[in-house]
Amino acid sequence: AAAETASTTTEAGTVGGSEIDDFERPPTLTCLFSAPLVYMDTAGTAFPMELLNYELEREFLWRAFREASRDIMLRFEFATTQVLRNAVTLGSRALHFSGHGDPDFLSFEDGFGRCHVLGVDLLRSLLAAGGPSHMGEAGVEFVFVSACYSKRAGEAFVAAGVPHVVAVNVEEAVLDNAAIAFTRQFYLSLAVGDTVADAFAIGQQAVKAAPNIPDSMREGNKFLLLPADPDGTMHNVPVFPKRPKVRRWPPPSHRPVPKDALASHVAAAGVDV
């Protein structure tokens, strides 16, 4: 699927050319949405997967950054391991993963509409390849794993060198309304230059104070900020510090999920997607 990028900055130089300039690209948040249509078992049988409402999540992410109106690049991609590794190698400042979660793996896509199960150990190895130069101040500073039971996946990002990670308790699923409330307020705070710790606290309180979330106090406590910070100082840093305001934020695109890339043998299996 083609990527969608929101950028409020006009890039210098020529497209595809070799002209060199001193243009400083704005920091990027790369959003990876995993929306596989089917899961293939070891016998090659296809089973339809529950489709997550990633378009709604994308809309709320876009709204948060539009309200902030800061010079930050927001990029949307479908979640394959290649796209993840590209984002890390190219120095994306932050990553947002949204998809199905499990205590032991995350569900990526294989590029053909099928589920690609990636265990947390392999996830850590994929991220850590190339050494620490792609993490922390020189690369990825923050990851949000927007998936149920995602604590171990979050810990895999931490082990690979990411200094700030938001995840969901490994024993918990999280309600959609709670995830939306947290995500919108968290990213609005992060985009205007607040620290990770402050943005996390704002997101939690937004969930706990929301009127349409059953047992909202418990839902708010399902979100985790990793690694644990007993001294309360580790996460007192901004991810997007002092970004200049922009006059206009571009409207979102509304491309549907591309189904034409689904492999022919999956369609032949008679699975209704």
Q: What is the mean pLDDT of residues 133-142?
A: 71
CA distances from 146 to 8, 12, 31, 120, 264 (A): 26, 34, 10, 15, 31
Chain-wide mean pLDDT for the chain? 81
> Please, is 251 exposed, middle or buried when counting C-beta atoms within 10 Å of its C-beta (0-12, 13-18, 19+)?
exposed
**Which pLDDT tens digit goes with each residue over 117-133?**
999 899 989 988 876 65
pTM (2 d.p.)? 0.82
Task: Place 137 in a pLDDT band, splitting at 50, 70 and 90.
Answer: low
pLDDT for 133:
55
Q: In what order do the strands lie in the sheet with 105-109?
A: 101-102, 105-109, 115-119
Tell me, what amino acid is at 99?
Answer: G
End-to-end CA distance of the chain: 17
Euclidean distance between CA atoms 192 and 19, whole angstroms:
33
Q: Where are the domains of the chain?
A: 25-237
**Which pLDDT tens digit goes with each residue over 161-199?**
899 999 988 666 666 788 889 999 999 999 999 999 999
What CATH topology corresponds to 25-237?
Answer: Rossmann fold (3.40.50)
More confident residue, 60 or 12: 60
Per-residue pLDDT at 15 exceeds 50: no
